[in-house]
Amino acid sequence: METPSAADVQGSLSPRTASNERTRDPRSPGSLQIRQQSVSQSPRGTTPETDPNATVLKEEPLTPVYTATRPVMTGQTVPKLPVLTNENALGSVTLDDPLADSQDQADDRVQAYAMLDFAEFTFYVQTMQVLLGRLVDGDTSTEALDIHLGPTKAISRKHARIFYNFGTQRFELSVLGRNGAFVDDVFVETGVTLPLKNRTRIQIGEIHFRFVLPAEETFPRRIEALAKPINATDAVNLKAALYNTPTSKSRSNSAVEIKDEVERSPTPKVPLLTPIPPYRHAPQPQAQYTTASQLAALQEAARKKEKAKKQAKPVKKVYTLEEIPVEFRAKPACSYSTLIESCLRARGTEKGMSLSEIYRGIQDLYPYYKYCSDGWQSSVRHNLSLNKSFKKVSKEGKGWLWGLDEEYCAERDKVKTRASVPTPAPNPVPTQSQQSAGKTELEPMIPPLSQQSVVPQTQPQPTLRADSTPAPGTLSAASLQSAMAARGKSIAELASEIKRETPKPQPSTSIQAQLAANRAQYAKSQPSTRETSSSPQPGSSVSPPAASGTVPVAPTNPKGLSGDTMKALGYLQQELIKLTKDRKMNDKQTTTAILTQALAMTIAQVNQAARNAGIQGNPLASLIEKNPQHVTKILTAALNAATAQVMKGKPQPHKAAQAPAPAATPVAAPVPVPHQQPQTARPVALSPKPQPASVAEAKPPMAPNAISQGIRKPQYYSRPPNVSGSGAGLKKPSGLNPVKPPVSIAQPSPQPQQSRLPPQADQSVSARDAEFDNLLKSISREATPDDRDTPPMSEKELDDLLNQHSSFVRDEQDEGDIMITGEGLKRPRDDEEDILMGLENKMAKVD
């Protein structure tokens, strides 16, 4: 095996690849080192060794010579590896003569700046930067990746960059991927760069690793710095690779490929492409190894153990959003007890059902549970144990056969019926084909509107739930959300429905058109809405009626809004546009939808905050006056949420709102809130007690695993608003639960205050409808100073203007990536500002 000297590496100005070769596998004798390897001269010929256990699992056509496709750092030299020359940091590291024969060191030393310690391998950072991401065939830009993080689209093509910052003299991590990353269990959104300390934990998608600096106690082996001066160009081009020769030959420009199978297969021929690489946990390098044989022995033992473990317990497939049929993405809005009961009724026998049968039954009846992550089984067991409705019928094998305690059920139903408004008896047994057929199913089981929570499950983090909280919004937002809640749908779903259902020979591009669509949607859903007293639902109607808030914003003025309100709305509009300037826009319809939604959300949030704080008067105007930054924050979060929903069509209304602790981390909010006092900007006037200032910041005390599970254990659908979740019990059997009023998008569930809000007063459909209309009208009418005197723009003019936005395209590079967090949507574009300013002006003219 060729191990070019450092001088060779250093001296060459030609593009080359240095492979960071991992050769832990004992089956490749003498390869228990990681060494710089230049493949620049003859990538095919200089990798004579063939190791079937190569890390790189994917075979590709041979590439003659790696050609750098990345920008090259020029004109800069690195006298020494900064990290290692810093006494403070790593004084214990011995700096070898850079010109020393690398072959001598090859046996037990690794020259590297740092190490990325993955679960199954170790990547030695031997270059000034390392790119991590998802390799996409045909996308040459991804060929520059140093580490392939697997095929899952939750990982962006260029998801992260680890690089040495010469200015700060440290390694830093730039999060490039849409879905962000977790750094030391703290979510870091895209666009953020932060310093890396020794042993920093990084999680991208489901891939975990640590950034390890070469300190004796942490580095598995003696890591030597490439102490000699090197040309920065070389540094960039030195691509460390974790592969062995056979495949490395064919992948001269690639590095680590994280795959599922194959890796240690004796015949790593066909790469298996699994969405999430449940990669094997190869033995981690142990410190203090001095000989290759020792290392080999330990590694083999560990590997065997790992293998056995793997065989015994196959990794459950983790589905990506795309893989899950749309109709099964939402968790059925019924409690576990309901699930179990329905299952037992549908499939139970005299002898009962075993636990595993119940599992399967639930999965069959509710395919959602086929796709969601584990954890629900535990809840089922818990429920079986706890709930007296279920009793052990007979013993079988390990456990019991479970059945229904009909007596108890009957009693329970009686109590239920008494406690609530006349309600159809629960018939929790869905027909087998209901959910399977993709219907909204559960019809017989749950009142039509409370069927499914459509909140996509992304993470177990507390999320806003569209059907778990009373609609707090008063203004027009209420009607928008009422419409959503009426169908138990998320905003995103509703939005998509609006898109689909709105008769739009022409896409409705104007605010008015959108309004009309919303109105239509609202009206459509209204008849089935439970939250309004105007249309009482058959059966129980325990849910709080859609509240009319205390917000007196033109509550009785269908034609016009008060001056304050107008002013406030104008402010909102301007802020919205400001915020939008930094974003990549989409087609006009989408843009309109986003803006409309963001507006509605914001209003709802403000109203909610006001109500929480017992604010009387005009909360919007009041808050703007007292704490405009807070308003901006809310607006920002709402914009994020709206953008996520509209753009992705993914029912993840709360993702933005659940931005993991933006205030608690160096991470900025999805869109940096301008002029904001960091972390301290709290709505003094509106927050008598500490409460989340906005959706972006609103965050409950971190529940265990809350954030960390976001990526670590992707649950692509947030636990549905446990319809039965609260205060239900016998009083409110989930199956009988009326639809919960919609939650304000801008209102994260973690806000405990919201639950204590007085329910909104009833409001007639038409009133709210008009209000909604008026709101947006007024907003669009609110002229900017420059445009006050401009003549109104015709609908066509507006459309033409908006058409300009249709040229906005999505991020081509990451197109197809799954947006998990609903954040990171900020995509600046140079010409956006002009266009948006134009939009702003035009909007002002439109009426």
Binding site for Mg ion (CB under 5 A): 390
Stretch that binds DNA, among 79-87, 424-432, 696-704, 763-771 (CB under 7 A): 696-704
Nearest Cα residue to 779 out of 515, 591, 519, 586: 515
- 420 binding DNA? (CB under 7 A): no
Could you tell me if 363 and 343 are in contact, meaning their C-beta atoms sit under 8 angstroms apart?
no
Contacts of 547 (CB under 8 A, 6+ apart): 470, 471, 472, 474, 478, 741, 757, 758, 759, 760, 761
Partner whose footprint covers residue 399, from DNA, Mg ion, none (CB < 5 to 8 Å by kind):
DNA
In the chain, the amino acid numbered 457 is: Q
Radius of gyration of the chain (CA): 30
State how far the alpha carbon of 294 is from the alpha carbons of 217, 299, 594, in Å: 18, 8, 60
Output 177 or 460, the one with its CB closest to DNA. 460
Residue 334 C-beta: closest distance to DNA, Å: 7
**Closest residue to Mg ion: CB criterion:** 390
Q: Site for DNA (CB under 7 A): which residue of 64, 313, 690, 789?
A: 313
Rounded-to-integer distance, Cα 661 and Cα 698, Å: 8
Length of the chain as a residue count: 847
- 539 binding DNA? (CB under 7 A): no
Which residues, numbered 786-805, are part of the site for DNA (CB under 7 A)? none
Output 352 or 619, the one with its CB closest to DNA. 352
State how far the alpha carbon of 504 is from the alpha carbons of 389, 499, 681, in Å: 50, 8, 43
- 392 binding DNA? (CB under 7 A): yes
Handedness of CA 326, 327, 331, 333 (dihedral sign): positive
Please provide residue 289's backbone torsions phi and psi, each rounded to the nearest 5 degrees. Answer: -70, 135
Q: Site for DNA (CB under 7 A): which residue of 337, 537, 602, 636?
A: 337
Q: How far apart are the first and last CA of the chain?
A: 75
- 733 binding DNA? (CB under 7 A): yes
Show the tokens assigned to 224: 């030597």
Residue 446 C-beta: closest distance to DNA, Å: 12
Q: How many CB atoms lie within 10 A of CB 509?
A: 25
- 708 binding DNA? (CB under 7 A): no
Rounded-to-integer distance, Cα 50 and Cα 31, Å: 11
Output 354 or 535, the one with its CB closest to DNA. 354
Nearest Cα residue to 660 out of 816, 811, 824: 824
Residue 384 C-beta: closest distance to Mg ion, Å: 5
What's 643's DSSP letter?
Answer: H
Output 465 or 827, the one with its CB closest to DNA. 465
Show the tokens assigned to 309: 């473990």
- 382 binding DNA? (CB under 7 A): yes
Residue 216 C-beta: closest distance to DNA, Å: 32
- 749 binding DNA? (CB under 7 A): yes
Residue with tokens 């006298």: 79
Q: Site for DNA (CB under 7 A): which residue of 703, 786, 790, 807?
A: 703
Residue 425 C-beta: closest distance to Mg ion, Å: 21
Stretch that binds DNA, among 64-72, 74-82, 331-339, 431-439 (CB under 7 A): 331-339
Listed in sequence order, the DSSP H helices in 238-322 are: 245-250, 292-312
- 460 binding DNA? (CB under 7 A): yes
Q: Site for DNA (CB under 7 A): which residue of 76, 140, 168, 726?
A: 726
- 542 binding DNA? (CB under 7 A): yes
Residue 403 C-beta: closest distance to Mg ion, Å: 10
- 425 binding DNA? (CB under 7 A): no
Residue 392 C-beta: closest distance to DNA, Å: 6
- 470 binding DNA? (CB under 7 A): yes
Rounded-to-integer distance, Cα 435 and Cα 332, Å: 9
- 468 binding DNA? (CB under 7 A): yes
- 605 binding DNA? (CB under 7 A): no
Residue 723 C-beta: closest distance to Mg ion, Å: 21
Output 74 or 378, the one with its CB closest to Mg ion. 378
- 307 binding DNA? (CB under 7 A): no
Residue 159 C-beta: closest distance to DNA, Å: 25
Output 174 or 722, the one with its CB closest to DNA. 722
Rounded-to-integer distance, Cα 459 and Cα 472, Å: 24
Q: How many CB atoms lie within 10 A of CB 123?
A: 26
- 399 binding DNA? (CB under 7 A): yes
Rounded-to-integer distance, Cα 242 and Cα 95, Å: 23
State how far the alpha carbon of 490 is from the alpha carbons of 353, 485, 520, 649, 743, in Å: 35, 7, 17, 10, 9
Residue 701 C-beta: closest distance to DNA, Å: 5
Which residues, numbered 351-380, are part of the site for DNA (CB under 7 A)? 354-356, 359, 375-376, 378-379
- 559 binding DNA? (CB under 7 A): no
In the chain, the amino acid numbered 254 is: S
- 735 binding DNA? (CB under 7 A): no
State how far the alpha carbon of 387 is from the alpha carbons of 341, 344, 408, 428, in Å: 11, 14, 10, 16
Could you tell me if 364 and 409 are in contact, meaning their C-beta atoms sit under 8 angstroms apart?
no
Output 259 or 732, the one with its CB closest to DNA. 732
Output 346 or 421, the one with its CB closest to DNA. 421
Q: Give strand pairing partners of 122.
A: 117
Show the tokens assigned to 370: 């086929």
- 705 binding DNA? (CB under 7 A): yes
- 131 binding DNA? (CB under 7 A): no
E strands, 68-185, in order: 77-78, 109-111, 114-118, 122-125, 129-133, 147-148, 160-165, 170-175, 181-183
Site size toward DNA (CB under 7 A) is 66
- 385 binding DNA? (CB under 7 A): yes
Residue 398 C-beta: closest distance to DNA, Å: 4
Q: Site for DNA (CB under 7 A): which residue of 179, 299, 541, 543?
A: 543
Output 384 or 668, the one with its CB closest to Mg ion. 384
Rounded-to-integer distance, Cα 314 and Cα 629, Å: 50
Partner whose footprint covers residue 545, from DNA, Mg ion, none (CB < 5 to 8 Å by kind):
none
Residue 387 C-beta: closest distance to Mg ion, Å: 5
Nearest Cα residue to 648 out of 715, 594, 602: 594
- 423 binding DNA? (CB under 7 A): no
Partner whose footprint covers residue 816, from DNA, Mg ion, none (CB < 5 to 8 Å by kind):
none
Rounded-to-integer distance, Cα 395 and Cα 390, Å: 14
Q: Give strand pairing partners of 174.
A: 161, 193
- 315 binding DNA? (CB under 7 A): no
Rounded-to-integer distance, Cα 205 and Cα 182, Å: 9
**Residues of the shown chain interacting with DNA in the complex, contacts defined by CB under 7 A:** 309, 312-313, 334-337, 354-356, 359, 375-376, 378-379, 381-386, 392, 397-400, 402, 460, 462, 465, 468-470, 542-544, 700-701, 703-705, 709, 719, 721-722, 724-734, 740, 743, 749-752, 754-756, 759
